[in-house]
A and B are shown apart, each in its own frame.
Chain A
Amino acid sequence: MHPVVILIAQRIALGVLLLFATSILIFVGTLILPGDVAQAILGQSATPQSLANLREEMGLNDPAWQRYFQWLRGVLQGDLGSSLSNQRDIATQIGARLGNTLFLAFWAALVAVPLAIFLGLLAVRYRDRWPDKLISGFTLASISLPEFFLGYVLIYFFAVKWRWFPSVSTIYDSMSFWQKLDAIVLPAAVLTLVILAHMMRMTRAAILNVMQSAYVETAELKGLTTFDVIRKHAFPNAIAPVVNVVMLNLAYLVVGVVVVEVVFVYPGMGQYLVDHVSKRDVPVVQACGLIFAAVYIGLNMIADIVSILANPRLRHPR
């Protein structure tokens, strides 16, 4: 078998293993939390008898490992349990929320990733001259400002003053695709600004590193334009570090956007999680944690695989 296939299979197996380990951590984490689920549900109306009954009913008296495997079996079958606060099925609720989050993340990424890489290339092309300094300054400023501040600034200008886009990004199933897109322009713009700097600076640094190498000199001595040298000869060798940073930022778009969701009242995963943490709704928190972990591990696994595939020494062994 081709060695690359083996390497990739190893990566995937490692990812699955990691996900299992994380699921244990999440389960243990919720066990350690102070308070008791039955107590939380019954609240003021708890009597010792009703508490005991509820515990028995929910299987809380079983040993922890048994409960873990019960939970895990459910998760593997797509059953995330039901919410304690409103008794509804978590999977269906999360499904809709996750869809919204991915929708926002997708459009933000579609703009941010190519833009960041292009700006990185441009910064290398005009290194230490004004375009480089302008790009660096702008992206650094946008990452340094807190996201909620950026969000409110955009709302002030684009929604309140000029009335180009709505200030509230709530979307419903009944909205058309274009209506949805119109609604998320501002939050997507904020997210783009937030993740741009990291990816752009990594692109710039990775390419500058490659620009020192002898084969870049060879390309220059072939009479190629600087931009062609960067695009054709430097960038293909800088893919691995760039992809890693891109994936970290994509993961952030899914798991770290709660502030932006709150600012724009966007019905995504972040808000859902925060709501249920405050209600001590443990099964929901577990489910969200697991999904976030899966996104993180999955994206980083993709980054690893792309790095492996981008390496000609691995792809074409001697």
Chain B
Amino acid sequence: MTEDTFLKVRDLKIGATAYPPGEPPKWIEIVHGVSLDLEKGKVLGLIGESGAGKSTIGLAAMGYGRGGVEISGGEVWINGRDILSGSPRELRRLRGSEVTYVSQSAAASFNPAKKIMEQVIEASVRHGKFSRSEAEKRAVSLFDKLGLPDPETIGERYPHQVSGGQLQRAMTAMALCPQPDLVVFDEPTTALDVTTQIDVLKAIKEAIADTGVAAIYITHDLAVVAQVADDIMVLRMGEKVEYGSTEQIINAPQEEYTRALVSVRSISHEEKPPTNEPLLSVQNVTARYRGTNFDVLHDVSVDVHPGQTLAVVGESGSGKSTLARVITGLLPPRDGMIEFSGRTLSPTLAGRTREDLRELQMIYQMADVAMNPRHTVGTIIGRPLEFYFGLKGAEKKKRVKELLDEIEMGDGFLDRYPAELSGGQKQRVCIARALAAKPKLIICDEVTSALDPLVADGILKLLLNLQKREDVAYLFITHDIATVRAIADSIAVMYQGRVQRYGAKSTVLSPPFDDYTDLLLSSVPEMKLGWLEEVIETRRMTSAGN
């Protein structure tokens, strides 16, 4: 151990008590003896899928357990003290002073009832690091450094008055304000659009370099962490898989699992040429929400061809999901029309026939809230069979089993409840439910966004296989260009309610680009060192979300 090693974690064990119904409480270990070292001014990346224990380890560096989580063993040395053996009072003195935290969702982590400035300087003032006026000055200079607009006055606003990307930077300012020795960044850019992520990432990286703090950077996206970290630890199910320099992990991964993470998103899909007869044709649709006075969609026209995939990409607020609402009839358009299977669809849901409803199904981003938690998998998948085809009893059960086979889950899942499934399994059940109606078109709204990369890959492969077998068309809404590359036949790029660029995948993704498409494409983190600087250097515009 060198003199500069000021964070030293030894054999850290963390767990929680579970209370299974009808059984005595039992202890479940989440992190099984992890050790790491961090020098001053260095950044350590913790990477892994959900459930790997990354956030739990990050919070343990502050002596904190979220929910019922408890640190059960090991040592965490900070500045020569084992913080786990300290009293609650000593821990409070550490938190917000020597170690600070930046969470995934700054929007939820700011108190909605208090002004931003008050929250940013709270810890500094509380721990007596700075006087109120000094802290405010420092906050303003941090706002400026992090590229926030109007650094002098933005602190006077309430959290709901600034955008998500701005809040994320304000939270970084909040973490840096008390001049800590260590900042724990917990997925600080995951909830942001790629086009916003890149700016926040740059701001964080520069702030770390300028202030010389050490940082733990937690993320599930290896390409992101490669841009900021000096060292990377790969975690899986609470255990260390691989630990080394960023260069070694990216360029020469030793472990099988790390290699899988590095090469994720390797699906390829041969583009199919458009047919003469589109299955769905959206023509000059303009739409706005009730009670508002601005259009969310302007003159949108796109086609989906039978058995093919149209990917709709864009950042949040670009109108992607609104387009889905118009197509499904949830939001009648102000202008324009929609043709489907050679007939004109009624603009309202009430005016559509059962056949219209059956042939057009939907899968959502949040699989867990799209299912009734009190229904079993069998009931959930069986419902459309009964509703559209009148299947009952043994016949229905047989078909449910076939569908479970199709989504690569056995009939052992028939009597399970959604809460007993993993995120990927839940999404598969939603896919089976959509398939049960034998639709011609499925609208997929960000169906892989909430999933870990490897799980998301599995879902995309499944969707592609199903398309081959059942000849179903997809309208695939996503903000993720990598997903688009993997599965699309044609692409519509949306920006501020307009279709910015539309055509076959190969055409849309080849230069020359318009400025927005260029920004969108270049903002997707690439698995290579120095990518961030390169992009910032060469891009032509910045996101509207900034």
Contact = CB atoms under 8 A, between A and B. Distances in A.
Contact of B95 (A222, A237, A318): A222
Contact of A312 (B95, B103, B158): B158
Contacts of A217: 66, 103, 109
Interface string A301-314: 00000000010110
Contacts, number: 72
Interface in A206-229: 213-215, 217-225
A125 interface: no
A223 B92 contact: yes
A214 B92 contact: no
A233 interface: yes
A316 interface: yes
Contacts of A220: 64, 95
Interface residues of B, number: 30
A237 B110 CA distance: 12
Nearest to B160: A313
Nearest to B171: A218
A224 B110 contact: no
B126 A222 contact: yes
Given A214-B103, A217-B66, A318-B160, A222 B112 contact: no
Contact of B96 (A215, A221, A237): A221
B161 A223 contact: no
Most buried by B among A215, A222, A224, A318: A222
Contacts of B122: 219, 222, 224
Interface string B110-140: 1111100001001100110000000000000
Contacts of B64: 220-221
B83 to A, nearest CB: 12
Is the interface on chain A under 10, 10 to 19, 20 to 34, or 35 or more residues?
20 to 34
Given A217-B66, A313-B160, A318-B161, A223 B126 contact: yes
B108 A214 contact: yes
A222 B102 CA distance: 11
Contacts of B448: none
A223 B97 contact: yes
B100 interface: yes
Given A221-B100, A223-B94, A236-B111, 14 more contacts: A218-B101, A218-B109, A221-B64, A221-B95, A222-B100, A222-B123, A222-B126, A223-B126, A236-B113, A237-B111, A237-B113, A316-B158, A316-B160, A318-B161
Interface of B: 62, 64, 66, 91-97, 100-101, 103, 105, 108-114, 119, 122-123, 126-127, 157-158, 160-161
Interface of A: 213-215, 217-225, 233, 236-237, 310, 312-313, 316, 318
21 contacts: A214-B105, A214-B108, A215-B111, A217-B66, A218-B101, A219-B111, A220-B64, A221-B62, A221-B95, A222-B95, A223-B91, A223-B126, A224-B92, A224-B96, A224-B122, A225-B92, A233-B111, A236-B114, A310-B113, A313-B112, A316-B158
